[in-house]
């Protein structure tokens, strides 16, 4: 770990931030750079980049970088009427840097429509579909800040559907892969507009960090050269270098405490030896993600806040949006060797907004990729392929180096019953109520997934693919995009935080992470999470300077 300041828990710092992921890392860097004393409580470890390896078993089966069922078990049910089953459903990074350490690094901006869709399209029955209290214009300077501060590779103006931007990308796109070339040629035949994928991975050395070495281990793995623009590589070192920010690792927050004036006084947490501490702070920011932020608010209930902290609206934990995800795998006659380099190199946004005449709400984007590891590929055969014996071995030999996928990323609607609650029976390793996830896609979300998958099949029909396997479309029982569970809004009855990320109920408590979303976008939410965090840091700094925190 880099050298850093160390505060005593009894010392009142300006801000305690819980979580060092996409949003927490940005906030820590911005607020400490702005002169504030900051403590970040992170439940996971600090992992030195040199520790990152390519061990699939450690990463995918033993959860070396992510939350695990041993410490933090969860339950799942499709609807509130179902009996929950024990299963790890909400998957997220559990280390310094959070989900940005192991994510694939697709980095799409939201488009203008994502913020104002409710006004444009009208209500969708059975949902809390709403406009954001901010627009793309409000967030654009912060998207640009993300591009330049964390390091994003891409080609400005390459997609006719892109929203306006004030600056080009700081780095050129990563090289096109075989899958990207096939995708691009087929898309052009169909009159679509493929473009180089914007990625939070350095195509060239940038700000003292090395460029991508094309090892092919982005999805699920940490980057050993620091080319992936994670909070760990890009934000945390800058925060620590200010001499004002302490990243306190293996510190598991379990309660935000408040005083009789309904103000937050700090955060209670367990250290790595399970001793309890209380970090005093003038203001508290929760950036634990769309599952753990609502959980911490629900765990912080008190006589004064009997339904959980900042939950006078009753919607903390509700309206979970996960983004729809489906795909198609194709096998070709010649080897593509697509398992090297970043997972994705080309994208299509022609279906970002679909024709309302189709009769359902939705939109999406698709990309060309190979996002599989050898073991992951071997255990993930399409349903049509035998999973043992001679035929299975033949499939492996003739497909691993010869295949690619098209992944389809789509909208989710905010359905009130989808979300996180505290499980009444199951406890985590510290004896605290475990998370229970309830999730069933809205029918429009399923129609949108099917629609985009059909477009992916159309694209592959225009390519020289030998065999094509479509993924079955099922209800999502696992989620990696955890969005909308403490939504932003102007009306305290229908939202948890205001446009400045301040909770409506507790004036010095702020929430900023995936939980702040009002709509889901079309997948790849992390660019927007980070833009929101840069903006929140500006708003919070201004409020603190006015003496309002
Ligand atoms: C395999 C995979 C691939 C992905 N690929 C992409 C992609 O290509 N593009 C994209 O946009 N998104 C991708 N994502 C999603 C992305 O990782 C998340 O959207 C993003 O990291 C969420 O940011 P966040 O700030 O909300 O929370 P996180 O990044 O999850 O950070 C939350 C942090 O808070 C810590 N924490 C939680 N609770 C506590 C507590 N009680 N006490 C102390 N610390 C706590 C956690 O350990 C974690 O470090 C992917 C996710 C997965 C799992």
Evaluate whether 447 touches 360 at the Cβ level (below 8 Å): yes
289 CA → ligand 1 middle, Å: 6
The pLDDT value recorded for residue 114 is 98
423 CA → ligand 1 middle, Å: 21
66 CA → ligand 1 middle, Å: 9
The three-state (H, E, C) secondary structure of 278-291, written as one string: EEEEEEEEECCCCC
- Which residues' Cβ are closer than 6 Å to ligand 1? 18-24, 41-44, 91-94, 98-100, 102-106, 219-220, 252-253, 287-290, 292, 296, 480-481, 513-514, 524-526, 529
The CATH number of the structural domain formed by 8-103+108-151+230-314+485-549 is 3.50.50.60
DSSP letters spanning 451-512: HHHHHHHHHHHTTT-SEEEEPPP----SBS--B-TT-B-S-TTT-SB-TTSBBSS-TTEEE-
Measured from the Cα of 253, ligand 1's closest atom is 42
Measured from the Cα of 44, ligand 1's closest atom is 47
Pick the closest to residue 72 from 57, 88, 83 (CA basis).
88
- Measured CA angle at 341 (ends 335, 346), to 5 deg: 80
The pLDDT value recorded for residue 306 is 97
Buried b (16+ CB within 10 A) or exposed e, 342-368: bbbbbbbbbbbbbeeeeebbbbbbbbb
Q: Which residue ranges make up each domain of the chain?
A: 8-103+108-151+230-314+485-549
The pLDDT value recorded for residue 393 is 94
The label of the residue with tokens 């089953």 reads 85
Straight-line distance from the first to the last Cα atom of the chain, in angstroms, rounded to the nearest whole number:
31
Measured from the Cα of 67, ligand 1's closest atom is 47
Measured from the Cα of 41, ligand 1's closest atom is 43
- Give the integer Cα–Cα distance in Å for 150 and 100: 11
For residue 279, what are the β-bridge partners?
A: 267
- The CB density around residue 3, as the number of other CB atoms within 10 Å, is 7
- Give the integer Cα–Cα distance in Å for 190 and 179: 17
Pair of tokens at residue 273: 């030896």
Query: H helices of 62-205, where?
Result: 99-102, 112-121, 136-146, 178-189
Per-residue pLDDT of the chain (549 residues; tens, 9 = 90+): 888 999 999 999 999 999 999 999 999 999 999 999 999 999 999 999 889 999 999 998 899 999 999 999 999 999 999 999 999 999 999 999 999 999 999 999 999 999 999 999 999 999 999 999 999 999 999 999 999 999 999 999 999 999 999 999 999 999 999 999 999 999 999 999 999 999 999 999 999 999 999 999 999 999 999 999 999 999 999 999 999 999 999 999 999 999 999 999 999 999 999 999 999 999 999 999 999 999 999 999 999 999 999 999 999 999 999 999 999 999 999 999 999 999 999 999 999 999 999 999 999 999 999 978 889 899 888 888 899 999 999 999 999 999 999 999 999 999 999 999 999 999 999 999 999 999 999 999 999 999 999 999 999 999 999 999 999 998 889 999 999 999 999 999 999 999 999 999 999 999 999 999 999 999 999 999 999 999 999 999 999 999 999
Evaluate whether 344 touches 336 at the Cβ level (below 8 Å): no
90 CA → ligand 1 middle, Å: 10
The pLDDT value recorded for residue 372 is 83
């Amino acid at each position: 770990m880099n050298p850093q300041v160390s505060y005593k828990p009894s010392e009142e710092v300006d801000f305690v931030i819980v979580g060092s992921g996409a949003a927490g890392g940005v906030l820590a860097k911005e607020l400490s750079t702005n002169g504030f004393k900051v403590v970040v409580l992170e439940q996971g470890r600090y992992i030195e980049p040199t520790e990152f390896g390519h061990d699939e078993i450690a990463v995918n089966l033993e959860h070396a970088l992510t939350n695990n069922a041993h410490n933090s078990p969860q339950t799942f049910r499709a609807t509130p009427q179902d009996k929950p089953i024990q299963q790890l459903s909400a998957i997220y990074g559990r280390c310094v840097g959070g989900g940005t350490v192991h994510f694939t690094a697709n980095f799409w901006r939201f488009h203008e429509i994502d913020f104002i869709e409710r006004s444009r399209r009208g209500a969708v029955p059975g949902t809390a579909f709403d406009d954001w209290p901010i627009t793309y214009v409000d967030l654009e300077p912060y998207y640009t800040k993300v591009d330049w501060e964390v390091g994003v590779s891409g080609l400005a103006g390459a997609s006719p559907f892109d929203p306006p931007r004030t600056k080009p990308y700081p780095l050129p796109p990563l090289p096109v892969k075989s899958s990207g070339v096939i995708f691009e040629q087929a898309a052009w035949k169909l009159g679509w507009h493929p473009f180089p994928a914007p990625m939070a991975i350095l195509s060239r050395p940038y700000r003292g960090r090395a460029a991508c070495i094309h090892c092919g281990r982005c999805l699920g793995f940490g980057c050993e050269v620091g080319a992936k623009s994670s909070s760990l590589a890009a934000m945390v070192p800058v925060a620590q270098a200010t001499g004002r920010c302490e990243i306190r690792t293996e510190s598991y927050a379990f309660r935000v405490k408040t005083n009789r004036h309904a103000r937050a006084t700090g955060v209670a947490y367990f250290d790595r030896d399970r001793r309890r501490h209380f970090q005093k702070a003038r203001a508290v920011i929760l950036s634990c993600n769309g599952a753990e932020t609502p959980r911490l608010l629900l765990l912080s209930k008190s006589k004064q806040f009997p339904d959980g902290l900042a939950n006078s609206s009753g919607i903390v934990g509700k309206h979970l949006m996960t983004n729809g995800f489906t795909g198609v795998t194709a096998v070709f006659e010649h080897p593509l060797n697509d398992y090297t380099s970043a997972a994705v190199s080309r994208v299509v946004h022609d279906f970002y907004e679909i024709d309302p005449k189709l009769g359902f709400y939705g939109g999406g984007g698709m990309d060309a990729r190979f996002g599989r590891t050898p073991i992951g590929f071997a255990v993930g055969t399409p349903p049509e392929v035998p999973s043992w014996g001679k035929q299975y071995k033949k499939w492996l030999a003739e497909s691993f180096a010869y295949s690619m996928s098209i992944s389809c990323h789509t909208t989710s609607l905010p359905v009130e019953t989808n979300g996180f609650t505290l499980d009444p029976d199951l406890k985590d390793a510290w004896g605290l109520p475990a998370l229970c996830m309830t999730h069933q896609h809205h029918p429009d979300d399923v129609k949108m997934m099917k629609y985009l998958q059909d477009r992916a099949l159309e694209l592959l029909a225009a390519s020289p693919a030998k065999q094509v396997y479509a993924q079955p479309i099922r209800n999502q029982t696992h989620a990696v995009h955890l969005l909308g569970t403490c939504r932003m809004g102007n009306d305290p009855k229908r939202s948890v935080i205001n446009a400045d990320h301040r909770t409506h109920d507790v004036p010095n408590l702020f929430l900023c992470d995936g939980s702040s979303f009002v709509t889901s976008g079309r997948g790849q939410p992390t660019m927007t999470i980070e833009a929101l965090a840069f903006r929140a840091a500006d708003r919070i700094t201004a409020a603190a300077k006015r003496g309002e925190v």
